[in-house]
Amino acid sequence: MSVTSDLVTLDVCGDPAELIVGFLNTVDVEAGSDAMDTLDGWQSWLSAQGLDGCFGPQDPRALEQARELRGDLRALASGEHCARVRQVDIQVALTADGQVELSAQTAVGFIAAAAAKVAVEQRLDRVKICPADTCRWAFYDTSRNRSRQWCSMQVCGNRAKARAHRKRSAPA
């Protein structure tokens, strides 16, 4: 099977984990906004990632698939199990130098390929969702023991610690 020129390989996006975090953060719980609430929003996000010319025009079905994939990935990053199995077309190739190369013909396939690469590298568990109900921001855990909980210790972590302190200090 030959690789067609219509495929877009992951080497165009830098670290695929960063792409996944950015994709998850297209929904902003704190601001109450969703960058993918419209087809134009989805196309704008792809453009901001430098992927606008890679996949051609997007359609409502592609937007729906992107939202479904985002929901599944956010569930996984939150530590939940996905009950659904999504099938997204990606292509896997072995390069001449023995490296595995993932590619896709669609934007949703490209995001799925990025998630697959991060999973194969055993880094998908480092993509997490902040547990603060008012935040729910995605982040990449760079801690050595993979124990980071908050998107920001200065904001969400500090708020949680202050709440816990007030609760412990409150008269019974």
What digits encode the pLDDT tens for the residues 104-114? Answer: 899 999 999 99
CA dist 149 and 167 (Å) reads 20
Please report which confidence band the pLDDT of residue 11 belongs to, taking 50, 70 and 90 as the band edges.
Answer: low
Nearest of 5, 18, 39, 30 to residue 126 by alpha carbon: 18
pLDDT at residue 96 in the model: 86
Is the predicted pLDDT of residue 93 greater than 90, yes or no? no
What digits encode the pLDDT tens for the residues 43-72? Answer: 999 999 988 888 888 999 999 999 999 999
pTM of the model: 0.84
Contact between 134 and 30 (Cβ < 8 Å): yes
Instruction: List the domains of the chain with CATH numbers.
Output: 8-169 (1.10.3300.10)
How large is the angle between the packed helices 60-77 and 107-120, nearest 10 degrees? Answer: 20
Compute the average pLDDT of residues 7-27: 85
Q: Could you tell me how many residues make up the chain?
A: 172
